Amino acid sequence: MSVFGGVGSRIAELAQQVISNNAKFESLERSTTISLGDFKTLLLRFEDRLPQMEGAHVQDVAALRAEIKVLDGRLSSLSEQALHAAAEKTIRDLGRGDRSGLEDDPVTIAKGVRVPVETGTADPS
């Protein structure tokens, strides 16, 4: 009978493990079900908020593009004003016979003509 006595205690141990595993499984199943329910709720909330977020993003992008356009226009205007001011100053200086600074003039350099400061005559070198 000693052979069967060991089997009985082993069966009792295995039955206890099955009961313990079932309890753990049921606990994990409950936890998983709750977690999935919470996740589904959060996902539905996000789906409700997504169109609002997209609308706000579109408005922000449109506002930024409008501001960029305004700033670009202001920059163009200021650049044009600066160009006109430089041209007027150069014309005034030339009217007074002041040719200083013309040797470094970008237009003169681009044309390959150097204007000596002392003589004021062009020297294409």
121 lies in some domain: no
Per-residue pLDDT averaged across 82-105, rounded? 78
42 lies in some domain: yes
120 lies in some domain: no
Is the pLDDT at 106 greater than 70? The verdict is no
124 lies in some domain: no
13 lies in some domain: yes
87 lies in some domain: yes
123 lies in some domain: no
Predicted TM-score of the model (pTM): 0.46
DSSP per residue over the chain, as a string? Answer: -HHHHHHHHHHHHHHHHHHHHHHHHHHHHHHHHHHHHHHHHHHHHHHHHHHHHHHHHHHHHHHHHHHHHHHHHHHHHHHHHHHHHHHHHHHHHHHTT--TTGGG-HHHHHHT-B--TTT---B--
Greater confidence (33 vs 114) lies with: 33
74 lies in some domain: yes
Per the structure, how many domains does the chain have?
A: 1
**Residue 108 binned pLDDT confidence (cut-offs 50, 70, 90):** low
The whole domain housing 100 covers 2-111
